[in-house]
């Protein structure tokens, strides 16, 4: 958003002088948690261990943007598996164009300001962090439970 500060003073000849100082102010939108729907694909070696390391890759959407996930996982169990994952997430984010960086003074008359702060196009990707906990619905012993759920 824009912040316009206007200073009015009287000059040496008695004329009124008006000075406008225009800055872009960053909005504090603290959406650290973004609910989304997606999937994680867990890749691991086929061994009969109760605990095994894995690699996860995934994608999700919140109906506005797509996020991409990548990181290590730990699989607990054999046919009924719980998976704990963590790693990096990449998502496109809205960023203001370079000439309108937050805190920077703008040399434009207030009457000529755009209605909204211009954004970079295309939106750049930003890296974040994710933690995931999933349950395997398609394990051998889960087949009967899944068929009962889908028949109802």
**Which residues fall within 8 angstroms of residue 99, CB to CB, at 6 or more apart?**
106, 118
Measured CA to CA in angstroms, residue 114 lies from 19, 24, 108 at distances of 19, 12, 10
Per residue of the chain (152 residues), what is the pLDDT tens digit?
445 555 666 667 767 666 666 666 666 666 667 788 988 888 988 888 899 999 999 999 988 889 999 999 999 987 778 999 999 999 988 777 777 776 666 666 666 777 777 777 888 888 999 998 888 766 655 555 556 566 65
């Amino acid at each position: 958003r824009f912040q316009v500060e206007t200073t009015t003073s009287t000059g040496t000849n008695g004329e009124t002088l008006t000075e406008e100082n225009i800055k872009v102010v960053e909005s504090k939108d603290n959406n650290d948690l973004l609910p989304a729907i997606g999937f994680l694909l867990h890749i691991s070696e086929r061994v009969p261990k109760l605990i095994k390391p894995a690699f996860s890759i995934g994608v999700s959407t919140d109906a506005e943007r797509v996020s991409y996930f990548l990181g290590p996982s730990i699989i607990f169990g054999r046919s009924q598996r719980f998976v704990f994952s963590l790693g990096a997430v990449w998502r496109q984010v809205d960023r203001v164009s370079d000439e309108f960086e937050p805190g920077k003074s703008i040399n434009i008359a207030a009457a000529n300001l755009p209605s909204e702060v211009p954004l970079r196009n295309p939106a750049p990707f930003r890296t974040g962090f994710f933690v995931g906990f999933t349950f395997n619905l398609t394990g051998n012993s889960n087949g009967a439970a899944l068929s009962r759920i889908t028949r109802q």
